[in-house]
C-alpha cells in the first residue's frame, strides 16, 4: 500500500489543543534562541562555546523536539492506529517535562551550571521515557505492516538512542565522569540528525508531502529501505566508534559516516524530485520553503563531509546551521503551515460546523512574509560565525522576529478556529 494512500483514522484524532500546545510552546523556544543570540552575539564562533551549545539545544530540544512530539501525538493515532493511553494527561505531562527540561538544560549549558544541566537532562529524560512508554503501548496493536507506521517505530528508536546519549553527555559534562566526550557528541549529533529527526521527517513526508503538496508518491523502493538502512548504518557506525582504539584503522567508520551522509542526500534529492512533479498550478510559500529545506540539507551534508576531511571546526559549525535552521526549521515551518489550519478545519468539520476554507483560517500573505524572513535569516546566521558582533546581533534580531511571527501566525489560526466554534454554540 502506498504511503500516500494509507487509511487515515481521523476519528482517532486527539483534541486540537494537544498538538497545538506543543507547537505554540516550540515557537517560544525559537524566539528565546533569537533573544539569546541578540544578547550573546559571539556565541557562534565555535560549535563548542557555551553559547553555541545553549542555542543548539534551544532549537533542537526546545523547538524541534516539542514540535515533533506534538506531531506524533496526532500522527500515531491517525496514521499508525496507535491508541495512546490517557492522551490528555499524557500530553500535559510530557509537555511540562520536556519544555521545563529544555529550558533548564539550555540555561545550564549557557551558564556552565552543572545543577541546571542535570536537572534539565533528568526532566527531558523522564519526559521522553514516558512518551516512549506510552507510544510502545499504543503501537502494540498498531498497523505494523505499513511503511509509515514501521518508520515511526524506527524514529522512536532513534529518539531513545539520542536521548540516552544526551543523558550520558550531561553526566560527563556536569559530573566529570570519564567518558569519550568527542565520540559521544558525534554519535549524539548523528542519531539526532538522521536516526531521530531524519527518520521522523521521512516517515511524515511519505504521507504529508503527497497529501498537502499534491505530488506523486515517493518511489516505493525508497520508502521500503530508507529508514531501516539509516538505523543499520548508524548502529554500525556507533559500534565501530565506541570500539575504536588509537591503533585501529578508522576507514570503516569513515565509510559508514559517508554512507549515512549519502542517505541524507538521497532523501533530499527524492523530495526535490517529487516536488518538481507537483500538480499545483501555482506553488505557494510553504512549497518553496520545503524546496529550500532540501537544498539547505544538501549544503549542510557537503559542509559536514568537508569538516570530516579537513578537520576544521568552521565547516562543522556551518553544517549545523544549514541542517538545523535551513533544513529542519524550514521543513517544520512549511509543514506547520499546512498541518495547523488543516487540523482546525478537521475539528470544526467533526463538530458538524461549516468550516471556513483553510486559506481563510490561515491566509497566504503573512505566511509568505514570515517564510521570506526565515530564508533571509540563514545567510546572516552563517555570517555570524565570523565572530562579528553586529552580524551576531542582527542574526539574533532576525531569529527572534522569525519565530515571533511564526507564533503569531499559528496563534491567529487557533483564534479563528475558536471564534468559529463559539459562533455556532
Q: What is the CA radius of gyration of the chain?
A: 21
CA distances from 83 to 9, 67, 180, 231, 275 (A): 11, 20, 40, 25, 32
Give me the phi and psi of 113, to 5 degrees please: -105, 105
Look at residues 152, 157, 163 and name the one whose alpha carbon lies nearest to residue 127: 163
Q: Exposed (0-12), middle (13-18) or buried (19+): which is 323, by Cβ within 10 Å?
A: buried
Give me the residue spans of the domains in the chain. 12-242+250-423
**DSSP classification of residue 13:** P
Output the CA angle 399-211-158, nearest 5 degrees: 60
- What pLDDT is attached to residue 233? 94
- What pLDDT is attached to residue 247? 44
Pick the CATH number of 12-242+250-423 from 1.20.970.10, 1.20.210.10, 4.10.320.10, 1.10.3720.10: 1.20.210.10
310: how many CB neighbours lie within 10 A of its CB?
A: 11
Give me the phi and psi of 115, to 5 degrees please: -65, -45
What is the C-alpha separation between 61 and 192, in angstroms, rounded?
10
Contact 37, 384 (CB under 8 A): yes
Helix, strand, coil % over all residues of the chain, rounded to 5: 80, 0, 20
- What pLDDT is attached to residue 229? 96
What is the C-alpha separation between 243 and 208, in angstroms, rounded?
39
Is 0.85 topped by the overall pTM? yes
Spans of the chain below 50 pLDDT: 1-5, 245-249
Amino acid at each position: 500500500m502506498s504511503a500516500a494512500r494509507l487509511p487515515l483514522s481521523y476519528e482517532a484524532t486527539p483534541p486540537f489543543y494537544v498538538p497545538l500546545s506543543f507547537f505554540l510552546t516550540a515557537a517560544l523556544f525559537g524566539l528565546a534562541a533569537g533573544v539569546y543570540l541578540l544578547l550573546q552575539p559571539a556565541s557562534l564562533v565555535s560549535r563548542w562555546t557555551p553559547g553555541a551549545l545553549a542555542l543548539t539545544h534551544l532549537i533542537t530540544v526546545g523547538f524541534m523536539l516539542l514540535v515533533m512530539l506534538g506531531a506524533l501525538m496526532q500522527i500515531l493515532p491517525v496514521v499508525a492506529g496507535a491508541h495512546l493511553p490517557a492522551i490528555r494527561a499524557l500530553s500535559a505531562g510530557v509537555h511540562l517535562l520536556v519544555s521545563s527540561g529544555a529550558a533548564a538544560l539550555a540555561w545550564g549549558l549557557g551558564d556552565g551550571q552543572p545543577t541546571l544541566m542535570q536537572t534539565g537532562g533528568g526532566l527531558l529524560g523522564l519526559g521522553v521515557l514516558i512518551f516512549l512508554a506510552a507510544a510502545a503501548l499504543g503501537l502494540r496493536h498498531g498497523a505494523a505492516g505499513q511503511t509509515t507506521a514501521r518508520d515511526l517505530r524506527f524514529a522512536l528508536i532513534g529518539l531513545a538512542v539520542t536521548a540516552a546519549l544526551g543523558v550520558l553527555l550531561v553526566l560527563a559534562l556536569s559530573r566529570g565522569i570519564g567518558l569519550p566526550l568527542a565520540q559521544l557528541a558525534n554519535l549524539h549529533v548523528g542519531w539526532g540528525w538522521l536516526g531521530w529527526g531524519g527518520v521522523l521527517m521521512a516517515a511524515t513526508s511519505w504521507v504529508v508531502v503527497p497529501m498537502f503538496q499534491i505530488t506523486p508518491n515517493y518511489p516505493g523502493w525508497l520508502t521500503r529501505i530508507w529508514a531501516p538502512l539509516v538505523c543499520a548504518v548508524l548502529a554500525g557506525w556507533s559500534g565501530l566508534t565506541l570500539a575504536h582504539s588509537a591503533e585501529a584503522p578508522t576507514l570503516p567508520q569513515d565509510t559508514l559516516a559517508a554512507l549515512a551522509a549519502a542517505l541524507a542526500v538521497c532523501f533530499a534529492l527524492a523530495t526535490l524530485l517529487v516536488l518538481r512533479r507537483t500538480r499545483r498550478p501555482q506553488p505557494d510559500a510553504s512549497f518553496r520553503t520545503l524546496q529550500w529545506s532540501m537544498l539547505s540539507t544538501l549544503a549542510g551534508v557537503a559542509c559536514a563531509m568537508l569538516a570530516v576531511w579537513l578537520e576544521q571546526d568552521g565547516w562543522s559549525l556551518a553544517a549545523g546551521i544549514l541542517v538545523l535552521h535551513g533544513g529542519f526549521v524550514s521543513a517544520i515551518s512549511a509543514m506547520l503551515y499546512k498541518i495547523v489550519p488543516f487540523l482546525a478545519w478537521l475539528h470544526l468539520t467533526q463538530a458538524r460546523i461549516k468550516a471556513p476554507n483553510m486559506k481563510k483560517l490561515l491566509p497566504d500573505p503573512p505566511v509568505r512574509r514570515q517564510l521570506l524572513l526565515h530564508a533571509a535569516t540563514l545567510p546572516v546566521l552563517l555570517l555570524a560565525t565570523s565572530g562579528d558582533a553586529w552580524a551576531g546581533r542582527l542574526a539574533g534580531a532576525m531569529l527572534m522576529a522569525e519565530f515571533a511571527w511564526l507564533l503569531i501566525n499559528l496563534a491567529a489560526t487557533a483564534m479563528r478556529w475558536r471564534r468559529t466554534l463559539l459562533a455556532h454554540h
